Amino acid sequence: MAKKIFKEIDEIQERDDDALDILKRRLVVVAVIVMIFTSLIIARLWYLQVNRGGDYKELAFNNRVRIRQVAAPRGHVVDRNGKEIVTNRPSFNVVLIREDSHDIDDVLKRLAGVLHVDISELWKRIREATGTPLYIPVVLKEDITWDTLAYLENHNQEFSGIRIEVVPVRVFHYGDLASHIIGYLGIINKKELSEADPEKYTGEDLIGKMGLEKLRENDLRGKKGSSSTEVNARGFEQKLLKSDEPISGKEIRLTLDVDLQQIAEGMMDQEEKSGAVVAMEVKTGRVLVAASAPKIHLDDFTGGISTENWNALLENQKHPLLNKVVQGIYPPGSTYKMVTVLAGLATGAITESTVFNCPGHYQFGNRVYMCWKHTGHGAVDLRRAITESCDVYFYQVGQRVGVDGLAEYAHKLGLGEKTGVEMEHEKKGLVPTRQWKLKQYKQKWQDGETLSIAIGQGFDLVTPMQVALMTATVANGGKVFLPQLVDSVRDTDGGIVDQFHPKLIRELPGVGRYLSLIREGLTGVVNGEHGTAKNARIEGLTVAGKTGTAQVVKLAQYKGLKDENIPYKYRDHAWFTCFAPAEDPEIAVTVLVEHGLHGGTGAAPIAKAILQKYFEARLQAFAKEKEEKKVKAVPGIRP
Amino acid sequence: MFRIDRRLFANFDWVLLLLLLLICGMAYFSLYSATYPPKPWGMPLYLKQCYLLLIGFAGFLFLISFDYQELLSWNYPMYGLIIILLIVAFYMGKSAGGAQRWINLGFMKLQPSEPAKLMLVITLASYYTRNEVIDGYSLKDIGIPILLTIVPFVLIMLQPDLGAALMLGVSFVSMTVFVKLRLSTYGILSGMAAIVGAFGWIRVLKPYQKQRIETFFNPETDPMGHGYQILQSKIAVGSGEMFGKGYMKGTQGHLHFLPERHTDFAFSVWGEEWGFAGSVFFLAIYFFMLLWGLNVAISARDRFGMLLAYGIVMLIFWQAVINLMMILGFLPVVGIPLPLFSYGGSSLLTTLFGMGILMNVRMRRFQTSSAKE
């Protein structure tokens, strides 16, 4: 019995052992599964840490280290006496670092309230930045006030991802003074970015878009600094790792004189004139005034101009966008007579004693060419011809010299070619020749056309800068200088990096006598009894100059009309170009007033005002002397 | 019950204890770095961890002091206790206004879902020991195990704690498959699982839970959310490279780029600071301990011991695998800790108690059943 029971127990035991053995075998399978998963995880670790470890290391670095560029203050622009024209001031911009912001919605909602802007405005800025890396700041608002700045700084914990960036912005101390010359900055565009050195420029940088800001970008820009800071996941800066200070841009010292420039621009603006004023040192070619009217409003361009403003500028019939100093081309009118005289004397076509009779008109072929004075000048010699601007005299000189002879001397005086002044898109104007006409129009030159050329009408086209340069050349006895706008480039500590010396382009040999004859004639224009520019006369200073009228249209219907009845756009352009003192010229001034009708009345007063300012000290001394003479004279009269 | 004879002492598994201590040591070491600098208020976590380890090892010693066979008679009362705790936690959570998974005991916050994982293993081991079927269980045979699993599963899902609930399911499957089912039962079960899964996706999962899963398959949709967490975890581990950045020098962890860096993502900190070499060192010890645990199961003297040891090893194993795969970007964020390594009192104590039971099985491997003695 007991044996049977024991046997049964043994059987059960055996069966249990068998069942246990089955489970044990399964456990071995499970161990294999555990090892498979272990290998899988280790393989994954190998992939992440060894194969791609470098990539992740970089990502971790990017996570924690924020390299921020620190904008370099742009170089200042000062006038010849060091008066600041353009400098910088700090602008506080609110920026969002998207990857640091954990609840953009909420932050923007509160920010919109603080900045007093619509939240959609902020979202728009963020949308525009779509596609750029998330650590790149998005500017939400520029130039916030001190109060707003203080509030945001004190509550920065509530604005995750929001930071304040300090960016230098341009300050124009004289408003829009010399706006065409100085130009403006704008955010670099894709094309500029692709051409620029990627080390120096990044996406949101400002770059000069016009004027010297563009031409002198390399000097003005400076070198950006950078700072590497360690930040935590919420974007709070933990410590500064590395910092490179930015290097300020260099200072550009212009040859311009702010006072003279202001006078020129003020007088043009006052009467809403359109045109250009240039003043130049005749012995160096340094430009003292370069004004184009109307001015552009530089602040409109800062940070990109609105389409509205842009279209208004384009449609304005006074063409404010044009820098008329070098981009405006006009017939030279009577100012061209300097060329005609020089060509006549130099080629021997006339001498200083040549006399022509002016009956008020001149018959050439089957056409009659009128003198501006229809009653005629009678017998006219060289000096009178210049002084009274007798057209008939110049018709005949022109006829003798021929168009190509005129062109040769026009070129010698710098017309028909770029002066090379540091301004953008300079036009070279036009000095016609026989060959030019054949090429351009497939027509033979008509000799009658030479007559028009001789008095500066017809095909001739010049820029105000060219006329100024020509005037300076006549004044200085035949030296053509490169007109210079930049005097020097300086370090922030005042050290001169680059100094510009007068640069002679060419010298006209053997014409000294002829030029002095011209100067005599030009002196008469201002000071003579019958001169056409008596408006430019200054007591105590001998001014020599030439007026000019550039015909816009030759329509007969406007001929007999009074000036004010001619539509603005059909009125003639008025030139006045002069130099002073006539005895030993120092400065040449050229004024062009678009549709200004007459050089003597429309243009000469502006030149006069500039000369008065330029020679202020001399004129004051003269006035004082005169006063003293009077005082001395008084006791003599008394008995 | 508290008899400890010399033979037991001789059979004490020093290797298992050593492996356990090594892992706890590394975890402690890493916790200090992950929570540095300590919060300026309350007890620093590394100190708290000290107390937890002491409690855990006290429990460990208690659990080796009696024959594990005793658990067969205690498992239903303990199971009932856990269910009550889950219900309490659920209602306390509700009154606290929102999801709450713990009961505040003062010195620690007990998450009943953690002991529930171990309790389910013990309960299923008991059931499958009492109801042994050699040729494979039929659907009818596993009705009660399913019920035993579903009750805590639902309670935990209601909290809601997807990770813990998932672990109950994983435990059930690994235990049940181990004791062998009939082929037909597999078919029916998997069909049912598909239906329940679909229903769960539509009706039960919270939107944030769905989002986690969706994010995993499409990380770009949510760069600041869970995709961000996984990415930061991968960056942390990956940037450790071969030899790591050095202890306390991990930037991802210390600068807070890593989410949950001392709990679910604790291993990311380890990977960042110790690199591939350190990670493999840790994993080698960790998985060797698990293999050793399987060896305990193989050498167990009876079915109950074997099922207990197996179930406990699997509980740790699957949690570790899911956690590591999540950290390494293989799985979505599911909120499952790395046992012994992730900070969390309930999880640590549960795991140490489990290890105690494992040791208990090991120590008593040569004993014949007490009935024979």
The tens digit of pLDDT for each residue in A4-33 reads 888 888 887 777 788 888 889 999 999 999
What percentage of residues in chain A have a pLDDT greater than 90? 18
Who contacts A113 (Cβ-Cβ below 8 Å, separation ≥6)?
Answer: none
- Does A124 have pLDDT greater than 70? yes
What sign results for the dihedral spanned by CA atoms A593, A594, A595, A599? positive
Furthest-apart CA pair in chain A: how many Å? 181
Between CA A427 and CA A327 the distance in angstroms is 5
- Does B2 have pLDDT greater than 70? no
Q: How far is A157 from chain B (nearest CA, A)?
A: 16
Note the pLDDT of residue B373.
34
| Nearest-CB residue to B283 (from A16, A24, A42) | A42
Between CA B99 and CA B159 the distance in angstroms is 6
- For residue B129, give the nearest of B250, B303, B289 by alpha carbon: B303
Who contacts A21 (Cβ-Cβ below 8 Å, separation ≥6)?
Answer: none
| Chain B residue with minimum CA distance to A60 | B235
Note the pLDDT of residue B320.
96
Q: Do A54 and B302 touch (CB under 8 A)?
A: no
| End-to-end Cα, chain A, rounded Å | 181
Structure-block tokens of residue A365:
């072929």
- Does A637 have pLDDT greater than 60? no
Between CA A104 and CA A514 the distance in angstroms is 78
Average pLDDT over chain A reads 85
What percentage of residues in chain A have a pLDDT greater than 70? 95
Residues comprising chain A, all counted? 639
- Does B372 have pLDDT greater than 70? no
Is residue A443 packed enough to be buried (19+ CB in 10 Å), middle (13-18) or exposed (0-12)?
exposed
- Does A639 have pLDDT greater than 50? no
- Does B149 have pLDDT greater than 90? yes
pLDDT digits (tens, 9 = 90+) for A36-89: 999 999 999 999 999 998 888 888 887 777 777 777 888 999 998 888 999 888
- Does A300 have pLDDT greater than 50? yes
DSSP state for residue A132 in the 8-state scheme = S
Chain B residues near residue A130 by CB distance under 8 angstroms: none
Q: What is the dihedral of CA A343, A349, A353, A354, to 10 degrees?
A: -120
pLDDT digits (tens, 9 = 90+) for B263-312: 889 999 999 999 999 999 999 999 999 999 999 999 998 999 999 999 99
pLDDT digits (tens, 9 = 90+) for B64-103: 999 999 999 998 999 999 999 999 888 876 655 455 677 8
Note the pLDDT of residue B368.
64
- Does A589 have pLDDT greater than 70? yes
Helix/strand/coil for A621: helix
- Does A354 have pLDDT greater than 60? yes
| Nearest-CB residue to B330 (from A44, A57, A234) | A44
- For residue A376, give the nearest of A397, A390, A355, A396 by alpha carbon: A390
Note the pLDDT of residue B98.
53
Backbone angles phi, psi at A490, to 5 degrees: -125, 155
pLDDT confidence tier of residue B129, bands split at 50, 70 and 90: very high
- Does B174 have pLDDT greater than 50? yes
> What are the angstrom distances between the C-alpha of B339 and each of B27, B347, B353?
10, 7, 12
Q: Best of A14, A41, A232 to disrupt the B interface by mutation (most B CBs within 10 Å)?
A: A41
pLDDT confidence tier of residue A231, bands split at 50, 70 and 90: confident
Who contacts B146 (Cβ-Cβ below 8 Å, separation ≥6)?
Answer: B172
pLDDT digits (tens, 9 = 90+) for A524-552: 888 887 777 888 888 888 889 998 888 77
* All structural domains of chain A: 65-254 (3.90.1310.10), 259-305+327-490+497-621 (3.40.710.10)
Who contacts B242 (Cβ-Cβ below 8 Å, separation ≥6)?
Answer: A49, A50, A53, B275, B276, B277
Chain B residues near residue A239 by CB distance under 8 angstroms: none
Between CA B176 and CA B136 the distance in angstroms is 10
Highest mean pLDDT among A124-128, A593-597, B153-157, B320-324: B320-324
A275-281 and A587-593 beta bridge pairing: antiparallel
What would the mean pLDDT of A478-501 be, rounded to a whole number? 88
Average pLDDT over chain B reads 86
- For residue A19, give the nearest of B362, B178, B293 by alpha carbon: B178
pLDDT digits (tens, 9 = 90+) for A100-111: 777 788 888 888
